[in-house]
Structures are given as C-alpha cells and as structure tokens.
Amino acid sequence: MSERPFFVFPKWSDWLTKVIVISSLVIPVYLVFLIAYGCSARTLNVNYQPIQPVPYSHAFHAGKLGINCEYCHTDVKRAAFAALPPTQTCLNCHSLIAAKSRELQAVRNSYGTGVKSLAGMSVPWVKVDDLPDYVYFNHAAHVNAGISCLVCHGKVNEMTRVYQAKPFNMAWCLNCHRNPAPYLRPRNEVTNLDWKGKNKVKLARDLGLTVATLPSNLGAYLLKRYHVPTVKILTDCETCHH
Amino acid sequence: MKRTTRNTYIFINLGLAALVPFGLICLARHERTTTPRWAIIQDMDKQPYYKAQRPSKLFADGRAMRPHIPGTLAQQDFIYINQAEARAHPRNWAKDHVILKNKKLYDSILFGQTLVSGHGQWLTQIPIPVTKRFVKRGQTEFNIFCEPCHGYNGKGNGTVNRWDQRLRKLGSPEAGTWVPPSNLLGPGVAYLSDGLIYNVVTNGVASMASYKDQIPVVDRWAIVAYVRALEKSQKVVPAAKLPYLIRTNLKPLPTPGSQ
C-alpha cells in the first residue's frame, strides 16, 4: 500500500538547508567582527578635525616657533581645565605682527577692532578633544604627575589644524591607569612633545640628579617622586566619575 | 557550467563582498572628518550643565563662565605648589603659601609699591622670600612667557623676534610694526627697581603687552628674581683678573649634570 505523502520537501531544499546552517554559523561571527571594528572608539572618535574660525596652526606656533604650550594654555598646571587663551593672548604678538591679516578677522572682531557687533564676544572655537560629561578629567593632576600633553593629544606641534589623535574611550584611559609608569617623564619636559629621554645628561639635570645616580627604572622612580596614587586608587570608579 | 563550479563562484564572490565593509571602515579610519561622530546611544554624554569655557544663551556675552570681578583675588594665585606635593610635604605648603597679612604686604605684593610718606614708591627688593626653588620656578615661567620675545638668555632675541626679523628681511608686509624687544641684561633693566620690573610684567610697557592675565602674581615675582639671576650670571669676571688668592684656589668646573 502506497499512500501519497502529505508534503514532500523539494529537491532544492537540501541545498537550502546547507545554506541556512552555514550562514547561521558564519554571519553572526562576521557581524561581531564587523561591529567591533566599525563601532570601535578608534574608528568613531579619532581623526575628528573641525574647521576653526581662525586657521591657527599649532604646527607653526608650537612646532616651528617653539612657543611653549603653556604660553596660551596657562592654567594647565593649576586647574582641571586647560583653558583656551583669551583674545588678548593672540594680540600680544598680533597687534604688531601680521596685524591686518585676513585670517585674524575673528580675533579682531572679538577684540573690538573689527565688526562692532561682535566686540567682546569670544572667538567661536570648536572643541576637538571632548570627554563625556560624566568624566571629570583634571589636567593639573596629570601634568604635575609628569604625563605629557602628547599622551592624550598626540603630536599637536605637527598639526596644522588640530584633530583628535586618541580614541578617548574608557579602555584607553585604563590602559595607562593600570600601569602608569611607562608614560611618566620629568615634569619640566611635559610640554616638550619631541622628548625621547635618551640624553642622560639632560635627564639628570631635569631631575636634579647626576648621571651616576640616575635611577635605572625611570618610571618607578617618578611614580614615587611625583606621588602618583596606587593603581588601586587610579582604577577606582570614584577617581574619574566623582 | 557545472553546479560545483557555480557554487564556488558564488562562495568566492560572497567572500569578497563581505570584505567591502571592512575596507570602507578602514578608509574611514584614516580620513579626517569635519563633523563630530554621531552617537545612536547618548549614554548621558551630554548633560545639561556647563563645563568650562562653554557657550550660554543666558548672558549677553554668550559665555557660561563669568569674568573675573575687578578688585577681587583668586586664592589660587597665591599658592605656587601643586596639590600632590602639598599633601606629601605640608610644611612646604605653608612656606610656599603667600598670605597677604596686612595692607603693606598687600600693596607690595600686588602692586610692587610701598607707601613712603603718603607716596607710592617702587619696591627695591622682592617681597617674597627668594629661595632656590623660587628662582627655579621663575626660570620655568620665564622660559614659557618671556622666551618668545626676550630669548632664553634675556638678550632680546627670542624665537618670535627672530621670525619677525626674517619676515622683515624678505620684505613681507606681515612683519608689521614689531619693535625688537629690549635686552634684559643691559643697564636699562639693571637700574630698574624690582617693583618696577614687576610692574612692567604686570601692566606691560611700550609695545610689550600686559601679562597679568597669563601669569599669577607670585610667578611674576619669581620671574623678577630670575631676571636678577640672569643679570648676575652675566657679570662674570675673567679668571685672570681675580685676586691671586682666589685665582689659585679655583676648582675646575663641574661637568654638566653632575651638580
């Protein structure tokens, strides 16, 4: 007795089963890698380079002329925020040099010698390196512990227009907070972005030591000397999210 | 076309197509963007409070931060030690904390003046104890704020001045009305009293701008101390002209870095 079956899978369903099984294994793995790569902080955050109201070049002022970072960002050693300079700071030199330059129009507007309606208003600089509002980063704490500007801002002295050089996600912060020693340098070399620490004589002079008494492990020595908190404190939630 | 070959083609093409998004992401990674990242999940990244130097529509000048009120002082300006050090060496903190105890000290530290029979006179010495640390502090600040014009040695040939001289030589109109800065080691500065030098740093003179917003009060005095140290370093007497007893007892110079 041969009863006709109610339903018979067509022949191509063999092929379909294979495709479904293989793709259900491969596609999730593929998506995981794609999202991890595409949505990583390194992809999303780095290389943000907004157009500024004044084409101020750090590569020229900080790099070629070698003006110290602190000449403009004066508060960095004393305050949590590395302040943008007031318009007066630009005018220290630019009231005399290139005073009529077209590029400096926004500065002159702010100072009161340009468009009258904008006198006394700030130059509308665009913030580049911005942290989420629940993170309380303190510049003074880092700079006084011998963390260079370079560690977070990259080689600003080679940037014609400043861009974000580091991802600024929490994993990246913790990278250093878990092991700060290799990132430390003498405090007076913090704004020297080309510092390598190869010159022993200079290093000894920076630290007030002699070449003979120079510590073999500079990082460990500076940890102690600059009173850097322990890793337990550095990785405590409350340290950054207070 | 055989079925297996067709399947292989499909497989290879799919595999190549799967690499395209990775390639696009890789391109995006190395490209500068002028627009900020767009966040699907905000995660309280932007909260309704003002951070330092952010704009605000509340005030006519568009700033959230309020300007310094004339006639008031920031307490911070009178401490020249960082917090970590203060915690570790509380005695140093007290030593490095300038307290404006009375009117006389207030006038002398803030204005570099002292009242003599009702008239203000420039101080002839620095009103803060000058220690080695204090002068070193002055050196650091001098190298930041004075060096661009006056140069590391104070002779008036800093980087900005050199650049302007170059522009001038090239005949560029950008050279502007720049005046070469004065030589801090010359007699012009040597005969100024300390209070007057402090006043020049504070309020500027001729084409030099005021630095009172950039350098705190105590650091300005430290710079005065360092300028004096620079002057002293230039008053070197040749060894041959020294008295015999001193000359014969001279020790060789220490090599750099060995203190």
Q: How far is Cα A170 from Cα A177, in angstroms, rounded to an integer?
A: 10
What average pLDDT does range A9-16 have in this prediction?
Answer: 88
Given a cut of 50, whether residue B259 has pLDDT beyond it is no
Q: Do A133 and B47 touch (CB under 8 A)?
A: yes
- Residue B204, pLDDT > 60, answer yes
Alpha-helical runs (H) found in A3-117: 12-38, 41-44, 58, 69-72, 87-94, 105-111
**What's the average model confidence in pLDDT over A60-67?**
93
CA distance to partner chain A, nearest, from residue B198 (Å): 18
The dihedrals phi and psi of B37, each to the nearest 5 degrees, come to -65, 150
Q: What's the rounded Cα separation, in Å, for the pair A76 and A48?
A: 23
Residue B113: phi and psi, rounded to 5, are -125, 160
pLDDT by residue (tens digit) across B175-195?
888 888 999 988 888 888 999
Start-to-end CA distance of chain A, whole Å, equals 81
Name residue B116's amino acid: V
Instruction: Give the single-character DSSP code of B208.
Output: B
Task: Give the list of residues 6+ apart from residue B242 with CB closer than 8 angstroms, or none.
Answer: B250
Q: What is the pLDDT of residue B76?
A: 63
Q: Which of A11, A12, A33, A74 to mutate to test the interface with B (most CBs of B within 10 A)?
A: A74
Q: Is the pLDDT of residue A1 over 70?
A: no
pLDDT band for position B80 (50/70/90)?
A: low
Give chain A's mean pLDDT.
91
3-state SS of A184-238 is: ECCHHHCCCCCCCCCCHHHHHHHHCCCCCCCCCCHHHHHHHHCCCCCHHHHCCHH
As a whole number, mean pLDDT of residues B30-57 equals 88
Distances, alpha carbon B254 to alpha carbons A51, A202, A210, B113, B242, in Å? 52, 14, 11, 40, 20
Cα B102 versus chain centre, distance: 30
Number of neighbours of residue B203 by Cβ within 10 angstroms: 14
pLDDT the model gives residue A100? 86
Question: By percentage, how much of chain A surpasses pLDDT 70?
Answer: 99
Q: Which stretch, A28-37, B87-96, B119-128, has highest mean pLDDT?
A: A28-37
Q: Which helix (H) or strand (E) holds A177?
A: helix A170-177
Question: A219 to chain B, minimum CA–CA distance in Å?
Answer: 17
Instruction: Place domain B124-233 in its CATH homologous superfamily.
Output: Cytochrome c-like domain (1.10.760.10)
- Across the A/B interface, how many CB contacts are shorter than 8 Å? 148
User: How many percent of chain B have pLDDT more than 90?
Assistant: 30
Cβ contact A115:A109 at 8 Å = yes
In angstroms, the CA A215 to CA B48 distance is 48
Q: Indicate if the pLDDT at residue B83 is higher than 60.
A: no
pLDDT by residue (tens digit) across A166-177?
Answer: 999 999 999 999
ipTM of predicted complex: 0.86
Q: Measure in Å the smallest separation between the Cα of A3 and chain B Cα atoms.
A: 34
Q: What are phi and psi of B33, to 5 degrees?
A: -120, 145
The answer to whether B214 contacts A71, with C-beta atoms less than 8 Å apart, is yes
CA-based R_g, chain B, Å: 30
**Residue from the list A30, A84, A210 with its beta carbon closest to the beta carbon of B259:** A210
Residue A153: DSSP 8-state: H
Instruction: Residue window 72-111, chain A: list those with CB within 8 Å of chain B.
Output: 74, 77-81, 83-86, 88-89, 91-93, 95-101
B257 to chain A: which residues are within 8 Å by CB? 200-202, 204-205, 210-211
Mean pLDDT of B136-157: 92
Query: Does residue B84 sit in helix, strand or coil?
Result: helix
How far is B115 from chain A, CA to nearest CA, in Å? 32
Domain boundaries, chain B: 124-233
**Is the CB of residue A16 less than 8 Å away from at least one CB of chain B?**
no
Alpha-carbon distance of A200 to B164, in angstroms, equals 35
Report DSSP letters for B11-63, one per residue: HHHHHHHHHHHHHHHHHHHTS-BSSPPP-SS-TT-S-SS--TT-B-SSSTTSB
pLDDT given for residue B161 in this prediction: 93
